[in-house]
Structure 1
Amino acid sequence: MKRKILFMGFNSLLSSLLFIGCGKGFLEQPPEANLTDKNYWQTESDIKQGVNGAYSSLRGLGTFSFWLFGEMRSDNTTFQYNAPQRGQINREEVDQFLVNSANTLLQDFWRDSYSSIFRCNDVLMHIDNVALTEAVKNQSIGEVKFLRAYHYFNLVRQFGGVPLRIEATRSPESAGSEGRASVEAIYQQIIADLNDAATNLPLASTYGSADKGRISKGAAYALLGKVYLTLTRYEEALTALRQVNGYTLLSNYGDIFKPENKNNSESVFEIQYYATTGTNLSSNFMYWFAPFDSGNIVTQDPTTNLNYNSGWNTPTQDIINAYESGDLRKDVSLAEGFTNSTGFVAAPYVKKFNHGFVLPGQTNVNFPVIRYADVLLMIAECLNEAGFVPEGEAFTLLNQVRTRAGLPSKTSSNAITALRVDSQEAFRQAIAQERQIELAFENHRWYDLVRTKQAVTVMNAHGQREVAQNPSIFPNGAYRVTENKLLLPIPEREILLDNLEQNPM
């Protein structure tokens, strides 16, 4: 464990140097063997590159772990069964609630998250020793504290209590953790980091074109609101969410996800991807999500060679059925299949991130983490939890999202039963339905099910429907969801090397 963490730390520091590729001239860099804290963390450029390195960690997590554990564990998506290729059962186990501590995908998620946290800690450890303007220092602190909070938020929701590391690892003696911190301690740190971030960060509107997409004050308040909502601290959530200002819904839902509209007026925070020759900054969602047997029909990439890395995060019949008639979001978000030379093939796939390629195998599509529509729906949820008010502000916000989707408003006394929301519980259901559709395939559904205590009921019913469709492909025990299975197992490697206590199974 000690060797592993130190090696991870050096790679994190080196990656932060390479992420931007500018600042110190190439010939002026010290030999890698001599790269130390003393001869690196010296200038404003060093700090900025360290911060950029912290951002860069999001890309790898965003292209795989975030949707695997945040979307495929829900009733929104599954996988396309690939009978000839059975080498990726570890991915299928995540969807089927059969994952165990030896699954290497757990280790990847854990390692990459802590590598990102290390980069944040590294910046915070050195920032006071570098001469910076107050504005640069405050912004840098705000950005990395947001990122650290975001990674811990994902970890605590997936694993429960985890080791709390808020200082950079600098020696073998400090490499081991003090064990798993409590869930309460993790959330206390998340809240403290986000409050600091909100205080230190500028408004999104103050960023120039070169800095579009950086974390802003609005992003910190939005994530803080989501954290409080997860903890059912509705009044505090509402206070934070009311501070998310300066954003508007785009008039056309489909425009949100187009590469030419990156970091638009609805975007509160999104993971940045760039398809550029000679770099590793691109996204590839449409390749992961295309049916593995679709050739180049879905991707339109003539060099596509789809294999076991395609056919994932596949829309379920449950999400397809959840769309109301006339909902404009359905055609933007998913397709129920594709047409080849023999006719229509019923193999659903996510369309939301399919906007062509820039280079073969590389796309330029960002991934939204928080959108303003999410904020509006969270505010509506908080208002309803404070007390049901017929045709109150919560209805206005809910219907603002529905109107863009081409759907009629829901009211408390509507003559149409499907549009009538006449109680606090009915409004909870309306919010849950709207969030499932509006934010489909953006990695919110699983977390929403867990925080509203619907996960066990919804996922067991969903699993029964999945197995009934094709019982021969599912192993024994698939989709038998219990409260214990709402948390992922701690990776086996961490149990052995860091002496961590395992989650109950």
Structure 2
Amino acid sequence: MLKNSFQKITLLVLIAVSACSCNKYLELRPQNGVTADQFWQTKEQLQSAVIGCYYAMEANPTAKQVTPAELFFDWGELRADFISPGLGIATAENDIINTNILPTNAVVKWQPIYRVINFCNYVLDFGPDVIKRDNTLTQDQLNNYLGEALALRSLMYFYLVRSFGDVPLKLHSTSTDDGLQQLAKTKQADILKQIVADLKTAEGYCPAAYSTNASDKGRVNKFTVDAILADVYLWMDDYADAITACDKVINSGKYALVPGGPNWFNILYGVGNSNEGIFELQFDAGTLNPYFAMFSSTTRYRFKAQQSIIDNFYSQDLNNPLNFDIRGNDVAIHIADGTIYKYTNLTATTFRTADVSYAHWIFYRFADVLLMKAEACANSSRGQETLDIINQIRTRANALPATVQSPDVADVNGLTNYILAERAREFPYEGKRWYDLLRIAKRNNFARRDVLLAAASVSVPPLYQQSAFSKIQDGNFLYFPVPQDDIQNDPNLVQNPFYK
């Protein structure tokens, strides 16, 4: 993927375009005239702006804010049942685990995500004019760039609606002072409709592949769009369309499970951009990820793995220590000290150091698409396909017989439980667990609230459990509060009812 000083300088230009001394809504703060007059003149600038959108997910926009890359983990894991506090955990993070969530909590900040959205909106607003100024830019190239921006904006809004519920929907850039708006929240259902519409457009615009593997894994192609669409459809309980989207990825022939041999960990997580990877946030020597400091036992790590994860999800073969589920010990967790290995090691025995903290953030990989299809099939009277897919995943992982479940092919709840357990084994600490729990819990008017209660019984300290169980009964609690700063700055925003 293109990520050099030119792209990073471009991002700094875009940040400068969106920054001034005043404190405005969503921190989308422009300086009039800079955007159109001094940029958006050539196809190289347009390409650079698109790459800047990716880099914005990695970069720390200000010293006071976490990166989106960190929020992807925090929002997807802190409220679930895989995390245990480490010595360096921040009060705000511990409060999330303890279900003591307030609008002032530093983790409950959506500004870094909206900044990425605004960069995407720059591309969508100003990109089409570049073709008038640079006759070497073709319509297909322009569409490719617009498709990437639409898909990234959609992914960011998907994170927001799964985390906050109803949120403000802004589809145009804040590029001048006149563009500043104080917006009310838009219903989650309406934002999801916008996401689907934008992704369908992006699917037609984005290429099937790029010329290099790093770009093919690190930039949005049409099958990336299909993977996001499958996830969105599953969240919407639209099982037929979810299956269709999954099948597009599966039938493309581009992706496969990394074989579960001795180099499995290094190929999938240590190096990244494997044949299994569909979309990965690319880190390198110039842009280290934030995860090493979060998880490494050589620092005052903020998070450890729940020690119960092996017994609860992977099991052990006490008669043969060499027979084990490859996803458990020294992948999800190093049992000796609770370290989360996916981001701190190159192999099961080779540690990273802080200066080589390059592990990618994997948004989607082939195993995820397979299990999304399995979940949609379970809810579509196709239970045998569900079991076949689960068995495919388990075979790669050498899953132990103790974790086998045998639901009837017509038992939707039983199949769902099996899928949830298999996703737990497959994706710990990949930012998916809370969203998996909430997606399943909320179906049929929260008919499966039990999965949230079970998770809280593991992760929430005993002192706070009764309070947590009570809060979970209120569906509004399952979404974050609107950040307090934005409530104060925008009179059109209304606080999530639970947090009033």
Q: TM-score range by the shorter chain?
A: 0.7 to 0.9
Give the corresponding residue for 1:222. 227
Q: For 1:115 and 1:465, locate their aligned partners in 2 and report how far apart those are by CA, in whole Å.
A: 35
CA pair 47-400 structure 1, distance change in 2 beyond 3 A: same
Instruction: List per-residue Cα deviations over 1:286-321 (Å, max 9, x = no partner).
Output: 321134xxxx3xxxxxxxxx23xx232533525652
Report whether the alignment pairs 1:207 with 2:199.
Answer: no
Residue 365 of structure 1 and its aligned partner are, at CA, apart by: 1.1
Q: For 1:462 and 1:226, locate their aligned partners in 2 and report how far apart those are by CA, in whole Å.
A: 22
Q: For 2:391 and 2:372, locate their aligned partners in 1 and report how far apart those are by CA, in whole Å.
A: 13
Q: Once structures 1 and 2 are overlaid, which stretch shifts more, 368-377 or 313-322?
A: 313-322
Q: For 1:429 and 1:475, locate their aligned partners in 2 and report how far apart those are by CA, in whole Å.
A: 23
Residue 368 of structure 1 and its aligned partner are, at CA, apart by: 0.7
Residue 225 of structure 1 and its aligned partner are, at CA, apart by: 0.7
Report whether the alignment pairs 1:257 with 2:264.
Answer: no
State the secondary structure of the residue aligned to 1:404.
helix
What are structure 1's unaligned runs of at least 5 residues?
Answer: 1-9, 19-31, 297-305, 339-346, 410-415
State the secondary structure of the residue aligned to 1:331.
coil
Residue 448 of structure 1 and its aligned partner are, at CA, apart by: 0.9
Correspondence list, 1:185-334, <5 A:
185-204=190-209, 206-209=210-213, 211-212=215-216, 213-244=218-249, 245=252, 246-252=254-260, 253-260=264-271, 262-276=272-286, 281-291=287-297, 296=298, 306-307=299-300, 310-312=301-303, 314-318=305-309, 320-325=311-316, 326-334=324-332
State the secondary structure of the residue aligned to 1:351.
coil
Residue 459 of structure 1 and its aligned partner are, at CA, apart by: 3.6
State the secondary structure of the residue aligned to 2:364.
strand
CA pair 222-370 structure 1, distance change in 2 beyond 3 A: same
State the secondary structure of the residue aligned to 1:349.
coil
Give the corresponding residue for 1:494. 486
Q: For 1:443 and 1:437, locate their aligned partners in 2 and report how far apart those are by CA, in whole Å.
A: 13
TM-score normalised to the size of structure 1? 0.80
CA pair 190-320 structure 1, distance change in 2 beyond 3 A: farther
Residue 15 of structure 1 and its aligned partner are, at CA, apart by: 4.6
Residue 218 of structure 1 and its aligned partner are, at CA, apart by: 0.7
Give the corresponding residue for 2:21. none
State the secondary structure of the residue aligned to 1:67.
helix
The one-letter amino acid of 2:333's match is: A
Residue 460 of structure 1 and its aligned partner are, at CA, apart by: 3.1
Give the corresponding residue for 2:105. 103
Asked if structure 2 preserves the Cα contact closer than 8 Å seen for 1:68 and 1:313, the reply is: no
Asked if structure 1 preserves the Cα contact closer than 8 Å seen for 2:374 and 2:390, the reply is: yes
Instruction: List per-residue Cα deviations over 1:369-404 (Å, max 9, x = no partner).
Output: 101000011111112211044xx3332211110001
Residue 360 of structure 1 and its aligned partner are, at CA, apart by: 4.2
Residue 417 of structure 1 and its aligned partner are, at CA, apart by: 9.8
State the secondary structure of the residue aligned to 2:456.
helix
Q: For 1:181 and 1:419, locate their aligned partners in 2 and report how far apart those are by CA, in whole Å.
A: 41
Give the corresponding residue for 2:175. 170
Q: For 1:16 and 1:216, locate their aligned partners in 2 and report how far apart those are by CA, in whole Å.
A: 26
TM-score normalised to the size of structure 2? 0.80
Asked if structure 2 preserves the Cα contact closer than 8 Å seen for 1:221 and 1:241, the reply is: yes
Residue 430 of structure 1: which of 418, 423, 426 is its match? 418
Asked if structure 2 preserves the Cα contact closer than 8 Å seen for 1:146 and 1:197, the reply is: yes
Give the corresponding residue for 1:24. none
Give the corresponding residue for 1:37. 36
Asked if structure 2 preserves the Cα contact closer than 8 Å seen for 1:257 and 1:353, the reply is: no
Residue 435 of structure 1 and its aligned partner are, at CA, apart by: 0.7
Give the corresponding residue for 1:394. 386
Give the corresponding residue for 1:303. none
CA pair 361-138 structure 1, distance change in 2 beyond 3 A: same
Residue 339 of structure 2: which of 333, 345, 349 is its match? 349
The one-letter amino acid of 1:249's match is: L
Give the corresponding residue for 1:460. 453
CA pair 465-315 structure 1, distance change in 2 beyond 3 A: closer
The one-letter amino acid of 1:40's match is: F
Q: Once structures 1 and 2 are overlaid, which stretch shifts more, 152-161 or 347-356?
A: 347-356
CA pair 57-328 structure 1, distance change in 2 beyond 3 A: same
Give the corresponding residue for 1:370. 364
Give the corresponding residue for 1:130. 130
State the secondary structure of the residue aligned to 1:104.
coil
Q: For 1:484 and 1:285, locate their aligned partners in 2 and report how far apart those are by CA, in whole Å.
A: 30
Residues matched between the structures, number: 437
Residue 420 of structure 1: which of 390, 406, 409 is its match? 406
Equivalent pairs: percent with the same residue?
A: 28
